[in-house]
């Protein structure tokens, strides 16, 4: 039983490291408009994303993806998130809200 718990712990640790790395890689594209730390209002119109919770970011990104969220930057963001999977959105949200 201990071996199983250790194996699961190791796998979860690897998964979280991979997820963090993926979030950081995905954010490189976002940083162009939102700033290196998510500190800028993109195009002078968006919320400051570094101040958002992970849940708020996930809601926003999924909403942009399905067209139910956003105002002035809705069309721009829809194109930015269209190819993201739910796992990538989660990884990105975790990176931004850290």
For residue 76, give its domain range.
2-96
Q: What is the pLDDT of residue 72?
A: 73
Q: What is the pLDDT of residue 5?
A: 46
* Residue 18 belongs to domain with CATH number: 1.10.760.10
Domain count across the chain:
1
For residue 28, what is the enclosing H or E element? helix 2-34
Q: What is the pLDDT of residue 15?
A: 45
Encode the chain (98 residues) as per-residue pLDDT tens digits.
566 445 545 444 444 446 558 899 999 999 999 999 999 999 888 889 999 999 999 999 999 999 999 877 788 999 999 999 999 999 999 999 98
CA distance 58 to 33: 18
């Amino acid at each position: 039983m201990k071996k199983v718990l250790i194996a699961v712990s190791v796998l979860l640790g690897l998964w979280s490291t991979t997820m963090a790395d993926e979030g950081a890689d995905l954010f490189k594209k976002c940083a162009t408009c939102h700033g290196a730390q998510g500190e800028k209002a993109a195009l002078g119109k968006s919320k400051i994303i570094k101040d958002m919770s992970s849940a708020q970011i996930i809601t926003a990104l999924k909403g942009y993806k399905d067209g139910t969220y956003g105002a002035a930057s809705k069309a721009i963001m829809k194109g930015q998130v269209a190819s993201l999977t739910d796992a990538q959105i989660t990884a990105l949200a975790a990176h931004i809200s850290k």
